Amino acid sequence: MGETQISQPERREQEPVILAQQEKPPEEAVSSPIDQSDAELARAATKVQASWRARAARMTSDELRRQKEQQEQQERESRERERQELAASRVQAHVRGRRDRKLSAQKREEMRARRE
């Protein structure tokens, strides 16, 4: 008694919305030819197909944007690693140079001490 009956035209208007809200499109909703005998049903089916095509296009563009962002992030990380490695090698060269100069100074002192 509490149930309300939806008339046939109202049900047809709601079908595209219900189909468009589904996670994956039914194959017949996307690729099958539309029956043109019922103009209202054909219009609704066309809307469903257009909705799924637009959704697929958005998903594709979102996926491409995510891939581009991921690639840019990897490039930034790679550049940062290279910069850090270069800085580390400079520090190592500086330390080696100081150590070598210090050893050279010690050897010179030893040579002087031996001569005297």
- Indicate the domain borders of the chain: 9-88
Indicate whether 13 pLDDT > 90.
no
Indicate whether 111 pLDDT > 50.
yes
Neighbours of 16 (CB within 10 A): 19
Q: Give the chain's mean pLDDT.
A: 77
CB 49 within 8 Å of CB 32: no
Indicate whether 1 pLDDT > 50.
no
For the segment 37-56, what is each residue's pLDDT rounded down to a tens digit? 777 877 888 888 888 888 88
pTM (2 d.p.): 0.41
For the segment 70-104, what is each residue's pLDDT rounded down to a tens digit? 999 999 999 999 999 999 999 998 888 888 888 88
Per-residue model confidence (pLDDT) at position 33: 64
* Cα–Cα distance for residue pair 110/97, rounded to 1 Å: 20
